[in-house]
Amino acid sequence: MKRRLRNRITSEAELNLIPVMNLFVGLVPFLLLSAAFVPLGGMDVKIPAAAAKEIPADKKKDLSVTFEIKNGTLVIAGYYNDFTQPAPGVSGVFSTNDSVNILAYLAEIKRNHEKIEMSLLHVHEDTKYEEAIKLLNIIRSKDEFKNVLLATEVVE
């Protein structure tokens, strides 16, 4: 007996796009809302323990460096003995736009001193935040000054 070959009418399977669309309609708005199109960075700063206290004293002959930002200038000064004895030859005044010379001077301080014990940054009150961050970025680009402390006003 011949088997009649039946012509099978096979219907093509249709792709159901509803779950895919559900996924897109749900995920895309969520990711768009949470996306940060501007890469964010940050700088951690340490503050001397409890702003009301004095900076704790440390070793005697290691160099401590202060940075002061005031009126568009950066004043760099070095001290020994807990900031009581100025370090000869460690003193400079730079324009805040003069990053090349600032970095060169910091490199020179590093070459001439074995260890830099502490560095302190003081920003004059009228300085703009952006300028302070810019200089902090420059100072911290040198490993020796990575842990620069931010000297803030004393409060009760």
Partner 1 sequence: MVRRRQRPAAATLNITPILDIFTVMLIFLIASYSPEEARIKKSAQLELPKSTMSLSHVPKIQVEVTDDYVKVNGREVEGVDPKMDKNLMWMKVREKVKSVSKKENEPILLMADKATTFKHVDRTVAHLAAAGFGEIYFLTERHENLPEGTLITPTEGGAQP
Residue ranges in contact with partner 1 by CB under 8 A: 17, 20-21, 24, 27-28, 31-32, 34-52, 97, 99-100, 103, 123-134, 136-137, 140-141, 150, 152-156
- For the CB of residue 108, give the shortest distance to partner 1 in the complex, in Å: 15
Q: Which is nearer to partner 1, 12 or 126 (CB)?
A: 126
Find the length of the chain: 156
* Residue in the structure block whose two tokens are 């700063």: 45
- For the CB of residue 91, give the shortest distance to partner 1 in the complex, in Å: 22
Q: Which is nearer to partner 1, 5 or 36 (CB)?
A: 36
Question: Do 48 and 149 meet the contact criterion of CB atoms below 8 Å apart?
Answer: yes
Q: Which is nearer to partner 1, 114 or 153 (CB)?
A: 153
- For the CB of residue 8, give the shortest distance to partner 1 in the complex, in Å: 27
Q: Which is nearer to partner 1, 87 or 140 (CB)?
A: 140
Nearby residues of 93 by Cβ (< 8 Å), 6 or more positions away: 73, 74, 75, 76
Please report, as a single letter, which amino acid is at residue 91. S
CA distance linking residue 83 with residue 153, whole number of Å: 18
- For the CB of residue 124, give the shortest distance to partner 1 in the complex, in Å: 8
Nearest in space to 151 (alpha carbons), one of 35, 69, 58, 63 = 69
